[in-house]
Structure 1
Amino acid sequence: MTDNLLFSIDGHVATITLNRPEKLNAATPAMSKAIVAAAEECNRDDRVRCVIVTGAGPKAFCAGSDIAELDSYATPWDFRNRADYCDAIHHLLKPSIAAVNGYALGGGLETALSCDIRIASSNARFAAPEIKLGWIGGGGMAAFLAHSIGMSNAAKMIMTGDPIDADQALAWGLVSEVVEPEALLDRARALAETIASRAPIAAETAKLNLRAAFSMPLDKAMQYERDLQTICFATEDALEGRAAFKEKRAPVFKRR
């Protein structure tokens, strides 16, 4: 790990905090490796049922990769094969929530888009500014934005590099909620705890199902969903859920 990344587990909720506020939480290669390690720990640890990703300080979620560090890669191929923080968040097995405080730029926007749910503070700003520097995003920017806000809006963001504010992000469906900055982490935590209270295998399966819905033809996606439902139905947690319903009590799920 690194001092520029904070990682904690409280109950069933893990929190990954990019901790470089003086640089708008821009990610260095060391931070990228630490994010990969934190994500892998979340995947391994059965205590973790939901993950919050956020940035330290009031100004930024993440301003993307630290531009000053990019020339440290010996070749473009080394850059291509770097440990990527966006990929690490995308490959989380557990449900994830981006608590976007302030700027989410470039790789920071891709990191937020890699999460399942996005909540923004009212001062959040979102942009894909790579085109202003001579390149494009490489962490799923086009695919994530096109799925989230539609082709035309995605093209506008990617081809201009200009930012949108939190209200526009909400109107376009880029985020699910906008709250005041001081309420952001509390709201993210409350939502994470709600998700963590549900059957964990079902929540992880729902994540797989949602991603399949974007990558499969409709008939295949529906069949896949039925298969996933059957797998969930066979778990001990599903048996517990049915028993709790009959007994009119809260279920106790054990990820089995």
Structure 2
Amino acid sequence: MPKQKPDSQNGAKIGQSADENALGRIVTRVEGDVLLIGIDRPRKLNGFTNKMLGELSQAYTDYENGPWRCAILHSTGKHFTAGLDLQNIDRAVSLFPRGLVDPVSLHAPLRTKPVIAAVRGITYTIGFELALAADFIICGSDARIAQLEVKRGLMPTCGGTPRMIERAGWGNAMRYLLTGDEMDAATALRLNFVQEVVDPEAVLDRALVLARRIAEQAPLAVKATMLNGRKSLTEGFDAATAELDAESGVLRGSDDVQEGLRSFIEKRKARFTGK
């Protein structure tokens, strides 16, 4: 399928064709300053193929380079994804094409804009890893989450192991990583894997509410906050705090800070431009 450029019109869909594609596809829709990135292969429980993984990387790259201020990773149908469709995956090539933004944030180039994962139903293996690689997760109460790799003689290779330990601690992470057992939404919330649990039919709507709220904030401040938080995780507390004065100085010189102050004084909503 030829690459299609994002459409800036609200409600526009990207990368769709009239006929359902047997190897699946990634579809996107624009809602104002929010880009919705959809996993679309419901007849196969949204199982990923190489084609879909490549399209997902391209969608993340388009998002990074485009005008949108927040993105939501979601799915069509009642399930997020059953994981990789191993019959349609070429293990001889990289899952995500190098040179494009990596959806699991393991290899450069890394995204600098926020992503919310909206998951429901079956959320297995790479699906959970994609969700954990987002900035936070809105979860349907019907979610069935599992890293099943150990049952197949494999291990998570898209960041699931360190991210599960990071959120839940060694024992809680290993409880599920070493058994491959499934967890429900309530357990995922208790272990800090997800941030909110809502009715399955409300998952995308709730994610969109929060995405719009993020999109209203100053883009430079959102980016700086994410980068400083990422530095803390990868390089430690001291490395992150050492850059605070310099980063804050850059923000203080921005037009958005002046707009933020004016809006406070004038008791109105700020209109940030990202400058």
Secondary structure of 2:269 counterpart: coil
CA distance in 2, matches of 1:207, 1:213: 10
Aligned to 1:202: 221
Match of 1:41 among 34, 59, 62: 62
1-structure distance, mates of 2:204, 2:136? 14
Question: Aligned partners of 1:54, 1:147: CA distance in 2, in Å?
Answer: 23
Matches within 5 A, 1:1-256: 3=16, 4-46=25-67, 48-58=68-78, 60-70=79-89, 72-73=90-91, 78-80=92-94, 82-83=96-97, 87-90=102-105, 91-256=110-275
Separation in 2 of the partners of 1:129 and 1:141?
11
**Mapped contact 1:86–1:111 kept (Cα < 8 A):** no
Contact 2:148 2:180 in 1 (8 A): yes
SS at match of 2:178: helix
State whether residues 96 and 102 of structure 2, in contact with CA within 8 Å, keep that contact through their aligned partners in structure 1. Answer: no
Cα deviations across residues 176-229 of structure 1 (Å, max 9, x unaligned)? 100001111111110000000111111121111211121223222212233322
Normalising by structure 2, what TM-score?
0.85
Structure-2 separation of matches of 1:13 and 1:33 = 21
CA distance in 2, matches of 1:215, 1:109: 21
Cα shift at 1:83: 2.5
Structure 1 residues 25-73: Cα deviation after superposition (integer angstroms, max 9, x where no partner): 1110000110111101001112x00000011101x11222111123x34
What is the CA–CA distance in structure 1 between the aligned matches of 2:80 and 2:247, rounded to whole Å? 34
- Asked if the contact 1:53/1:98 (under 8 Å) is kept, the reply is yes
Identity of aligned residues (%): 33
Matched pairs, number: 249
Task: Evaluate the alpha carbon distance shift between residue 63 and residue 226 of structure 1 in structure 2; reply closer, same or farther with a 3 A threshold.
Answer: farther
Label 1:179 to 1:236 Cα distance change in 2 as closer, same or farther (>3 A): same
Deviations 1:138-181 (A, max 9, x none): 11111111111111111111111111100000011111100001
How large is the Cα RMSD of the aligned pairs?
Answer: 1.8
* In 2, Cα distance between equivalents of 1:232 and 1:62: 39
1:82 CA displacement: 4.8
> Residues 86 and 142 from structure 1, CA distance in 2 versus in 1: closer, same or farther, beyond 3 angstroms?
farther
Residue pair 1:87, 1:139 contacting (<8 A) in 2 also: no
Q: Distance in 2 between matches of 1:226 and 1:65?
A: 44
2:223, 2:112 → 1: CA distance?
6
C-alpha separation between the residues in 2 aligned to 1:150 and 1:232? 34
The amino acid that maps onto 1:53 is L
Q: State the distance in 1 between where 2:102 and 2:33 align.
A: 23
Tell me, yes or no, if the aligned pair for 1:86 and 1:110 is still in contact at 8 Å: no
Is 1:54–1:99's contact at 8 Å kept on the other side of the alignment? yes
* Structure 1 unaligned spans of 5+: none
The structure that is helix-richer by fraction is 1
* Runs (4+) off by over 4 Å: none
Q: How big is each residue's C-alpha offset from its partner over 1:76-120, in whole Å with a ceiling of 9 and x where there is no partner? A: xx3446538993253332111000111111100100001001010
Quick check: 2:101–2:111 contact (8 Å CA) kept in 1? Answer: no
